Amino acid sequence: MEPQEEQFNSTLDAARAGAAWAWEQIYRDFAGPVNGYLRSRGAREPEDLTNEVFLRVARGVHGFSGDAGSFRSWIFVIAHRRLIDERRYHGRRPDFTELDRDQASPDSVGDVESEAVEGLVTAEIAEAFNALTDGQRDVLALRIIAGLSLEETAEVVGKRTGAVKALQHRALEALKRALDEESVTL
Amino acid sequence: MSDFDVYQSDMPRRGLTPADVELLFSTHVPVREDLASFAVILECLHRTARFDPSDEVIADFSGVAAEIARAGREAPHVAAKPTAPRRDGLLMRRFAGALGAALFLTGMTGVAMADDAAPGDVLYGLDRAMESIGVGDSGPSERIAEAKALFHRGQIIAAIAHAAEAVEAASELEGREAQGSLLESSMATDALRRAAERVDVDPVNSDDPAVKNAVAGILDEIANMLEADDVEPPEFGARISEMARDIGRGGNNPSETTDTSPSTPDERGPAAQPSQPSGPPDNGLDHPSGASGGPPADVPGRGRP
């Protein structure tokens, strides 16, 4: 067994037994990507929804079986479904919840002028992202923001890997085209 | 032929090759010089959207999740296979009940703390998340307890708005709609929200002892009626509407407002003491946020680092 898998299994066992350190590790590893995914897909309360996702993970962890990749997919399957439920409930079009411009460029802290310029650029990126189709945004958010693999992304959105491959390619093309038109560079 | 094969067949007309795409996703290091800027943009997208939680939030979450997982060993397992569709409804409610009982028996602390959290607390997000998975209270009683907590912190407007949520939640209790309480409750909810708006429009209202006294009275009234399960139409909604109507209109008379409260100090319990209507002038009525003698609590954000 690979050392990483071994480490994952021991963390998972500890999480099942209710060890706080294991849940801390799981939350540290995944809360950022889950939150980022939910925000980028227009969740109304991304922080609350992130907590809900992980509480569902805590509740269901005894029934989970699989490796680290499956675990990651499972977490995002829950996040994806909760997002769909939320959209259905509120009946709204998903887009970036908000942009945190302080996070857009950590190196620029203190430089008001460059912060303003980069904030503008980031807004244009978000605009270009929001102009993609729902399916394209799902795939890009899962791949770029959540950092999922092609296979994991396919599992989360419930599509074949070939379909996801085509979606991601079209999405990148569309995003690049939109940004080229706007002449956005960093 | 797969979807991707079909798509790939007209690749020459497009700007990105499959190899470019893979590299952009895997390392964000482009194989072509003209993609360097695009790769940086993707990195920016990745960085902008991610929102890593603070250590405080992680610590709070870990404690609650650990307790839920520990309690889950004692409760029946529900669909947790990676790809299995989640089932809501009866099964989930049964599970939530069993989990709640298990949490109670294991003497949980973090869960209880989160369950007691009020809006503005770091744990409040967890509290609402727990409610959504069926752990912890989510009914009108919890909402009114949260409204009281807000009131005691001096957040008068938020307290009124939360009281409206409590009334709304009360109207959603099983069977209440059928008894025709919806309209009355809706009127009461509207009256409360309008009262919150009136107080909000004029900041002086938040510091007006008469307004505070009236709000304290209304919170106690709702709490008492909920406790006594006396929320049947038309009295409940009508009574709350009547009490809310004058809040923030100016000329609130504490004695008039509080005289309408049917409860005695003993019935109210310690949490309600600052709003006790028949107490002396210095019993906290004029300074509900200052039960501890200070200004409104500096409440941290809702789980944002």
Give tens-digit pLDDT for B103-117.
Answer: 444 444 555 555 556
Locate the chain A residue with the closest alpha carbon to B18.
A169
More confident residue, B45 or A51: A51
Substitution target in B13, B32, B54, B62 with the highest count of A β-carbons within 10 Å is: B62
- Give pTM, 2 decimals: 0.54
Question: Residue B3 — very low, low, confident or very high, per pLDDT cuts 50/70/90?
Answer: low
Question: Whole-angstrom Cα distance, residue A27 to residue A14?
Answer: 14
Question: Residue B82 — very low, low, confident or very high, per pLDDT cuts 50/70/90?
Answer: very low
Q: Determine contact: B33 vs chain A, CB below 8 A.
A: no
DSSP B15: S
Task: Answer whether A184 sits within 8 Å of B45, measured CB to CB.
Answer: no
User: How many residues are present in chain B?
Assistant: 305
Q: Please report, in tens digits, the pLDDT of each residue of chain A (186 residues total).
A: 677 888 999 999 999 999 999 999 999 999 999 998 998 888 888 888 898 899 889 888 888 888 998 999 999 999 998 888 777 666 555 555 544 444 444 443 344 544 544 555 577 777 888 888 989 999 999 998 888 999 999 999 989 999 999 999 999 988 888 887 766 554
Task: Answer whether B69 sits within 8 Å of A18, measured CB to CB.
Answer: yes
What confidence tens digit (pLDDT) does each residue in B175-230 have? 444 444 555 667 777 888 888 888 877 766 667 888 888 888 888 888 877 776 65
Substitution target in A169, A173, A184 with the highest count of B β-carbons within 10 Å is: A169
Answer whether residue B7 shows pLDDT above 70: no
Q: In terms of DSSP H, where are the helices of chain B?
A: 3-8, 18-26, 36-49, 55-72, 90-105, 110-115, 124-132, 140-152, 156-171, 181-201, 204-207, 209-227, 235-245, 254-259, 265-268
A147, A151, A157, A163: CA torsion to nearest 10: 120
Question: Whole-angstrom Cα distance, residue B115 to residue B99?
Answer: 14
Amino acid A138: pLDDT: 92
CA distance B4 to chain A (A): 5
Contacts of B70 in chain A (CB under 8 A): 17-18
Question: Whole-angstrom Cα distance, residue B67 to residue B108?
Answer: 6
